[in-house]
Amino acid sequence: MEAFTPMMKENTMLINQRDKWVESLSQDQYNCLQTTLNELSQNDTNKYDVSNFPISFIKTFDEAFKRKNWLTSLSENQIEYVKSDLKKEKYLCPTLFCCGCCRTCNGDGKITYQLHNFPFEWINKYNKVFENEKII
């Protein structure tokens, strides 16, 4: 019988973490997860489903779900402000070694964010703008 190594223990903990996270999702979030994993599997050599996706995906999905919830809580004026602000500038591609085949910016080296993909941390920036400028 093979000894239970620290690496095996860590993998088991990560699997349990993923399983608990999946169980905590609403039905809409679960459907979104499944759809996204299916789409990724069609465009990648890896085949993902709810039982084998990388743990690192959890943070990305959590941020996307929170961004969506935040966006649905905004007024029409606030949504228009965010849309307009995102269209103003092109930002440097966040991919460290961006190249001509980069999927993030399509090789342009610059990215224009939209409502579905702007950096999650910007929510705080926008909340401050809404509060300070009384955008309701």
pLDDT in tens, 13-39: 667 788 899 999 999 999 999 999 998
Q: Which of 58, 47, 76 lies closest to 15, judged by CA?
A: 58
Give percent of the chain above pLDDT 90. Answer: 45
Angle at 33 between CA 22 and CA 36, to 5 degrees: 155
Which of the two residues, 84 and 101, has the higher pLDDT score? 84
pTM value?
0.74
Buried b (16+ CB within 10 A) or exposed e, 65-88: bebeeeeeebeeebeebbeeebee
Distances (CA, A) of 123 to 51, 81, 84, 90: 30, 12, 15, 18
Q: Does 1 score more than 70 pLDDT?
A: no
Given this model, what pLDDT does residue 3 score?
57
Torsion of CA 13, 19, 24, 29, to 10 degrees: 130
